[in-house]
Structure formats: C-alpha cells, structure tokens
Amino acid sequence: MSSSTDTAAGAPRDVVTAALVKDLYGIDADILAAPGDGSPVVVPTARAPPRRRKVTAMTTYAALLRGINVGGGRKLPMAELRSLLEELGHGDVRTYLQSGQAVFTTERGDEDALAAELTEALEKRFGFTCEVLVRDHAYLAGIVAACPFPAAELEGRQLHVTFLDRSVDEARFAAPDREAYLPEEFRVGDRALYLYLPDGMGRSKLAEHLAGPRLTKGLVATTRNWNTVLRLTELTAAP
C-alpha cells in the first residue's frame, strides 16, 4: 500500500537540510554537525530586525488672518478657508470663530514660509491681499505665561494681544504719553504688544494710536482678545 506522503530515506545528516527545515517550519536555519556522532543540529539564523518606518514629526500651528470678516471689509467664509488649507497639504484643519483664525498640522517648520504660502493662496483664490501670521503652540503658550497684566482677574474683552511679524523694541513705542491714555496701558512682549483696555477695544484711544501707520509701518500686526488667545493656545496643544 502506498502512502500519500513521501518519506525521506538516508542518514539524518544527509536528510536534514536547510531547504527541508525551511519547507517544513518556514524558518531559515544552518545545519551543523554535532560533536561526536555528527548528527544534524538545526540552528535558526538570526532574522534582520524589521525596518522601522520613518516617523515624521507634525506640528500644530495657528494661522492669524488680518482684517477678515470685520465690518464691511473682506469676506472669507471659514469653510472655504478650511478647504484652502487642506489643498495646501495641511491636516487636521479647524477654524475658530469667523474673524480669521485657523488651526492645522504640518511637518513643515518654517512659520514665515507657511504664512507667505497662505497669503499667496488667498490672493489667488479670493482676489485680495490678506496678511497672515503663523504661530505654534510653544509661542502662544509663552505669550500667555508672560502676560504682564493680571489676566485671571480681567474679562476677555479687557485684555488683547497685538501679534507682530517680528520683534520690536521699546523705543519704537516710546513716543506716546502713556499717562495721557490711563487707565489704558500696553507692554511690549515677544513679537507682540499686550493691551489692557478696561472698556474694551471698540472706543480705545490707545488701541487706535498703537494701530496707526507711523508705529506699525513695515510691520504685519493683527490683534486678538484674550479669550481667543487662550483658545488658540488650547487648540494647538498636542493631544
């Protein structure tokens, strides 16, 4: 009677081969002779460690658009802003309020280049120039931590931050007679001005003065109230 399974014949050292081990057990092995009787010893060969996939670090940024959806000025639906950011290759895109704040993730790390790219894309899509600042979580958290005014004791409308595209020194803003604007006050921070406006931004003489062309010439400047600053800091934080 014949069997459906072929049986190898011969001495073990002749029968046990690397090919046989591979076929039966699916492993690569070297076949060595045991000291003394020379019987085969199966020694699995070390497998190369699996290749690690390259992990690309992603950073979450806030984009601050200047002068969007304010009064009767430039209109930009937030849904279209989200779509545009996605077309630029950014991920996890979200917008906050209607006044020109977006949050997105990207592996690119040049804030100025990201801002310039978005500015150009906005002009091509909507036909108007919109200045943009891009800032990461570390910067925003630093702005919150360094606030020179008692933020926890104030309403969000009483405290504002004017974000700037570059650092400025105190001398640039030394001209105003600060006592003439009291109780309103301001301080210079890291690429930012902190504004304490007890009655809000609407009729602030100090805010109007600081936004004047003489002081802001050559700067990109856009202002947000403290509630928005806090929210953007939260939205850009790592999950």
Residue 34 resides in a domain: no
Residue 163 exposed, middle or buried by CB count within 10 Å (0-12, 13-18, 19+): buried
Mean predicted lDDT score pLDDT of the chain:
87
**pLDDT one-digit tens code per residue, 166-192:** 999 888 887 668 889 999 999 999 999
> Within a domain: residue 104?
yes
Look at residue 1 in the predicted model and tell me its pLDDT.
45
Q: For residue 52, is it within any domain? A: no
Banded pLDDT at 3 (limits 50, 70, 90): very low
Q: What is residue 85's predicted lDDT score, i.e. its pLDDT?
A: 97
Predicted structure pTM score:
0.75
Q: Is residue 120 part of a domain?
A: yes
- The full DSSP string for 22-82 is HHHHS--EEEEEPTTT--EEEEEPPPPPPPPPPPPP-EEEEEEETTBSSTTSB---HHHHH
Contact 34/40 with Cβ under 8 angstroms? yes
Asked if residue 33 is part of any domain, the answer here is no
Among candidates 44, 70, 165, 79, which has minimal Cα distance to 114? 165
In a domain? residue 44: no
Task: Quick: pLDDT tens for 59-83.
Answer: 999 999 998 877 666 889 999 999 9
Tell me the average pLDDT across 197-202: 94
In a domain, 136, yes or no: yes
Give the domain CATH number at 165.
3.30.70.1280
Reply yes or no on whether the pLDDT at 237 is more than 90: yes
Structural domain boundaries enclosing 106: 59-235
Residue 77 belongs to a domain: yes
Domains identified in the chain, total number:
1
